[in-house]
Amino acid sequence: MITVALIGSGNVATHLYNAFSTATDVKVVQWYSRKLNTISCHNTKVYKTDNIDALMQVDVYIIAVKDSAIASISSQLPFTNRLVVHTSGSVGLPDMNKKNHRAVFYPLQTFTKTTAVNFAEIPLCIEIERKADFSILKRLAKALGSPVYKINSQQRSTLHLAAVFVNNFTNQLYRIAHEIAEANAVDFDILKPLIKETAKKIETSSPFMAQTGPAKRKDTKTIKKHLDALINKEHKAIYQLITQSIQNTHGKKL
């Protein structure tokens, strides 16, 4: 049995707690949050505290807080030579206080408290300083049912950058599409099957091969029509930039 203390009360911490609660090889024995009311709503027997000095001895301490707070929290921990991990894709190992054994337990997924996730479909990226720590973190990931990837700092940084493109930037494009549709009394739900099919395609094909649309086929008439229809200058600039990027990729020019 692996014992765990969760540090933080945000989206990642909440989903990890929910997942670990049903795992057979893991026990969350303590949950720390600077604001106790953020975790007191969880009806659970786990010991909750807002006193960082009251942290118990466990096998793994998981810091799941905002990136800017990780260094500070790791420095405040009232012990040394224990295994402490953070869950960020962008924070480096050296940013954590070296008084403890440092590692990263990075679930590559977007999390919202109110939206259920399936950890069996979430890659768990593990980065370690000590070889001895990999086995326990691998067990922790397997208890969640997650596929495990051993990575280094550069690979994790690359994954986080790529994730911004496939998640954050894509979501912003959805938002723009929603705004365009709504402004013209079109139900955005009509586009949802297309969104799903676009994501589904890259499960069996590369993004390069899956590309379609007026930019790839150099349909200048349709491109001009779209640009003329865009009133928002920012939307027009994004359309032009992505169109040019697609054509650069596929060897065509405007």
Q: How many CB atoms lie within 10 A of CB 107?
A: 22
Contacts of 190 (CB under 8 A, 6+ apart): 181
Identify the pLDDT of residue 23. Answer: 87
Residue limits of CATH 1.10.1040.20 in the chain: 156-249
Q: Give the CATH superfamily of 156-249.
A: ProC-like, C-terminal domain (1.10.1040.20)
The reported pLDDT for the residue numbered 254 is: 47
Q: Report residue 70 CA to chain centroid gap.
A: 16
Range(s) for CATH 3.40.50.720 in the chain? 2-151
pLDDT of residue 194: 95
What is d(CA 207, CA 199) in angstroms, rounded to the nearest whole number?
10
Please, what is the average pLDDT of the chain? 92
Select from 149, 120, 137, 127 the least CA-distant residue to 22. 120
Task: Count the neighbouring beta carbons within 10 Å of the beta carbon of residue 92.
Answer: 16
Beta strands 101-107; 124-128: pairing state: antiparallel
**151-179 pLDDT, tens per residue?**
999 999 999 999 999 999 999 999 999 99
Average pLDDT estimate for 96-106: 96
Model pLDDT, residue 187:
96
CATH architecture of 2-151: 3-Layer(aba) Sandwich (3.40)
| Strand 101-107 with 47-49, pairing | unpaired
State pLDDT tens for residues 182-231. 999 999 999 999 999 999 998 899 999 999 999 999 999 999 999 999 99
In this predicted structure, what is the pLDDT of residue 42?
66
Instruction: Report d(CA 5, CA 61) in Å as an integer.
Output: 5
Radius of gyration of the chain (CA): 22
CA distance 66 to 10: 8
Taking only the tens place, the pLDDT of each residue in 22-60 is 888 899 999 999 888 777 766 667 889 999 999 999 999
d(CA 158, CA 154): 6
> Is it the case that residue 252 has pLDDT exceeding 60?
no
Percent of the chain with pLDDT over 90: 81
Question: CA 64, 145, 17, 131 torsion: positive or negative?
Answer: negative
What's 74's DSSP letter?
H
